[in-house]
């Protein structure tokens, strides 16, 4: 595999998809380089696509739901061994549809104050920590909680 330049992160989106006081998180499937890790759902921005349009497309493709993308929440840059990304997070809400998994092996609607109990991908972690702090919870709740 060709090494990825740490100076050229690709844009990737993430949704803080809120519904009834909870946030949707998804666990990467067994064939993924980060299998078993949790993430805020989203995906890679295609050429010519806006981050908001990307997020709507990804949430529909990966979960079968129609969403409304709201305010920009924040960004995180991370250099993984296989890819460098700039993760752009937006608040979002469910408009229509029932969650169905197509890429991930699990998903959960989790109260913000419980997010620290999940083992998130490294790029997601700063955004999750900020979300917990804004909600008034402890920023580092540990990683020994629910993983399945």
pLDDT of residue 147: 35
For residue 76, what are the contacts with CB-CB under 8 A and spacing of at least 6?
A: 86, 87, 89, 123, 124, 125, 126, 127
pLDDT of residue 75: 98
Q: What's the rounded Cα separation, in Å, for the pair 139 and 143?
A: 12
Other C-beta atoms closer than 10 Å to the C-beta of 1 total 5
Please say if the pLDDT value at position 1 is more than 80. no
- Count of domains observed in the chain: 1
Tell whether 5 is covered by a domain. no
Q: How far apart are the first and last CA of the chain?
A: 30
Domain hosting 57: range is 10-135
The predicted-structure confidence for 59-118, as pLDDT tens digits, reads as follows: 999 999 999 999 999 999 999 998 999 999 999 999 999 999 999 999 999 999 999 999
pLDDT band for position 137 (cuts 50, 70, 90)? low
Please say if the pLDDT value at position 7 is more than 80. no
Tell whether 101 is covered by a domain. yes
Coil, helix or strand for 36?
coil
Tell whether 61 is covered by a domain. yes
What CATH number did the domain enclosing 77 receive? 3.90.79.10
Tell whether 140 is covered by a domain. no
Tell whether 141 is covered by a domain. no
pLDDT band for position 135 (cuts 50, 70, 90)? confident
Tell whether 1 is covered by a domain. no
pLDDT band for position 145 (cuts 50, 70, 90)? very low
Tell whether 2 is covered by a domain. no
The predicted-structure confidence for 32-63, as pLDDT tens digits, reads as follows: 889 999 999 999 999 999 999 999 999 999 99
Task: Write down the residue that tokens 């460098």 correspond to.
Answer: 84
């Amino acid at each position: 595999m060709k090494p990825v330049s740490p100076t050229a992160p690709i844009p990737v989106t993430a949704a803080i998809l809120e519904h009834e006081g909870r946030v949707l998180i998804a666990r990467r499937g067994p064939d993924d380089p980060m299998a078993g890790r949790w993430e805020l759902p989203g995906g890679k921005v295609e050429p010519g696509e806006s981050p908001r349009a990307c997020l709507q497309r990804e949430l529909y493709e990966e979960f079968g739901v129609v969403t409304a993308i709201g305010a920009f929440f924040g960004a995180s840059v991370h250099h993984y061994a296989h890819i460098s990304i700039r993760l752009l997070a937006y608040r979002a809400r469910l408009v229509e549809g029932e969650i169905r998994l197509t890429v991930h092996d699990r998903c959960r609607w989790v109260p913000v104050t419980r997010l620290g109990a999940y083992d998130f991908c490294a790029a997601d972690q700063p955004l999750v920590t900020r979300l917990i702090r804004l909600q008034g919870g402890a920023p580092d709740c540990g990683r020994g909680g629910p993983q399945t």
